[in-house]
């Protein structure tokens, strides 16, 4: 299998930046991985914070009186649309970084293959 195809498959199906690491472009791969991990970490933190806030509201409601399932579902349902406004932006940024990593790994791999062909012809 060609080097460019291996790098593309690694970046596409393992994690963005792994293809660059395979091609020995360590700084580029680490930057891509850092950006992806930071975005994913922020999204996980934001969603967890929102879920904990909903759980706190449910717990307060349950302590005050007997639990009514309709009231509890309204608490959970009313706040389900209130999430961090940056989550959509970060999601699309991660998708763009992932696509960039795939294209970049292919480009670097093709350059390496062309250099290999030129040295083999000499």
Query: For 79, phi and psi rounded to 5 degrees?
Result: -100, 0
- Spell out the per-residue pLDDT of the chain, length 122, in tens: 899 999 999 999 999 999 999 999 999 999 999 999 999 999 999 988 888 888 887 787 778 777 777 777 777 776 555 567 888 999 999 999 999 999 999 999 999 999 888 887 76
Domain boundaries, given as residue ranges, for the chain? 3-121
- Residue-level pLDDT at 22: 96
Helix, coil or strand: residue 101:
helix
First to last CA, the chain: 23
pTM here is 0.81
């Amino acid at each position: 299998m060609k080097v460019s195809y291996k790098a593309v498959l690694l970046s596409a199906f393992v994690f963005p930046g792994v293809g660059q690491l395979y091609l020995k472009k360590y700084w580029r791969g680490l930057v891509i991985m850092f950006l992806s991990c930071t975005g994913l970490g922020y999204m996980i933190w934001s969603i967890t914070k929102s879920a904990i806030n909903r759980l706190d509201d449910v717990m307060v409601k349950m302590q005050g009186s007997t639990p009514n399932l309709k009231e509890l579902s309204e608490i959970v349902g009313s706040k389900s649309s209130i999430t961090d406004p940056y989550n959509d932006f970060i999601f699309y940024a991660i998708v763009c970084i992932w696509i960039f990593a795939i294209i970049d790994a292919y480009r670097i791999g093709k350059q390496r293959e062309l250099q290999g062909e030129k040295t083999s012809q000499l």
